[in-house]
Amino acid sequence: MTRKDQGWANSLFGGCLGGGSGSGKVRPKPRKPRQQQASSSPGSSSAMQRLSVTDVMSTASEQELSVSLVGSNLHVFTVGELKAATQGFLDGNFLGEGGFGPVYKGNVADKAKPGLKAQPIAVKLWDPEGAQGHKEWLSEVIFLGQLRHPNLVKLIGYCCEDEHRLLVYEYMAKGSLENHLFKKFPPMLSWSTRLNIAVGAAKGLVFLHDAEKPVIYRDFKTSNILLDPEYKAKLSDFGLAKDGPEGDETHVSTRVMGTHGYAAPEYILTGHLTAKSDVYSFGVVLLEILSGRRAVDKTRPSREQHLVEHMRSWLKDPQKLNRVMDPSLEGQYSTTAAHKAAMVAYRCLSGNPKNRPDMCQVVEDLEPLLNITDDVPNEPVAHVSPPKEDNVAKKERAARRRTDDNLGGNRRQNKTRSPQKIVRRRPGQSEEFWVWHMPGEVKA
């Protein structure tokens, strides 16, 4: 980090040093704006190199570091302003909840902030009892304060007032991909819409991986893919994102954190994080898009609870494609395109990270499939249903479920990769956020 960059970063540390809302001390003294990394083309770079989380953390102790405003276009809000925007965080404005805390819809009036037009917003509040905290909040500000891309959600601003930590985003009208796939939000996602979402999300990862200072997303999953009114995909929630390896480095060593079912196996075993860790997670999400089933579903029979274990071998076999595809599609998809997409998922889910494609290759493989429509049937095609179980089979399956319940639903796990602490799961969450504790681990 250059002396010039250090001086600039230090000038951004301030605010949140006490004083109530409207104290006027939240925002640092203005400086000449730093050029943003604003190109929509993957791999493009700004005139000045992006400041990394490591750069910011090295400039001051964590106790002294109250806020880092990276990017002159971020607006600083007070708690009072965001309460007004969300009608006092009204229950009717509740959008959902994740590891950081609850999210509410709000509206900002025209000229509420200089340069900010009237628009709907999404406000994320920090829950002190949740899985994430100030460090994750800071990561979000640092990454999304600098990174701009059509497939990344836009961070409008933030609030850092006393113990409060809030984030303000553009409002994504169609919610998360998770809600549409698994909570059956109408209308059902068509094949072309699913494929467009997959391509858009993949382009977001390409931009992060190919940046001048690479970024590893680390928490790629359906609940972090948000959809705009046209169902365009944008990646959200950068609280677990990490600066990727540079130069001769092959990986980043970090504490293993993530959502059960999405983390790459080698990352769980070693704590070594690479871009190929994100590729594996993308493979899981692509399989969820194809199948309409969750990565982990404890309501299914034990052998079907882990989607990758259950279906990966089917992805390369065209004869088993009908077992993979979501029955709610009713056959309304191109079998040619679906099989090619399944093969992309198969390669992304390889146990050996060296055999996984990079995200550029994934986009190259998936994008042409958007134009394959020649074998899409005109009429709904009945999905092949498994044969009905007889009474004996039903009783055996019920007995297996009771056994699983008595054992707590636990499967035998390798001790080196067993999550020893599961961060609590709140009612608004549909996924389990896991922290793996490993010998000699490095803090995130």
Question: Which residues does the annotation mark as catalytic?
Answer: 219
Tokens (6 digits) for 425: 């799961």
| Closest to 233 in 3D by CA, of 46, 366, 331, 105 | 366
H helix runs in 375-419, sequence order: 391-406
Pairing of strands 242-243, 215-216: antiparallel
Rounded to whole angstroms, the Cα distance separating 68 from 182 reads 37
**H or E segment at 121?**
strand 119-125
- The 3-class SS string of 175-194 reads CEHHHHHHCCCCCCCCHHHH
Q: Give the residue carrying structure tokens 């007889």.
A: 390
Long-range contacts of 355-361 (CB under 8 A, 24+ apart): 356/276, 356/279, 356/280, 356/283, 357/279, 358/209, 358/275, 358/276, 358/279, 359/202, 359/205, 359/206, 359/209, 359/275, 359/278, 359/279, 359/282, 360/42, 360/206, 360/210
Letter string b/e over residues 265-297, b meaning 16 or more CB atoms within 10 A of that residue's CB: bbbbeebbbbbbbbbbbbbbbbbbbbbbbbbbe
Q: Can you tell me which residue has the tokens 């079998």?
A: 335
Three-state DSSP state, 436: strand
> 89, 102, 110, 132: which is closest to 259 by C-alpha?
132
Residues 325 and 380: their CA atoms lie apart, in Å, by: 14
Q: Determine contact, residues 11/28, Cβ cutoff 8 Å.
A: yes
Beta strands in 206-347 (DSSP E): 215-216, 225-227, 233-235, 242-243, 252-253, 256-259, 272-273
* Entry field: residues in the chain: 444
CA distance 433 to 429: 9
Instruction: Using alpha carbons, select from 224, 236, 239, 259 the residue that is nearest to residue 135.
Output: 239
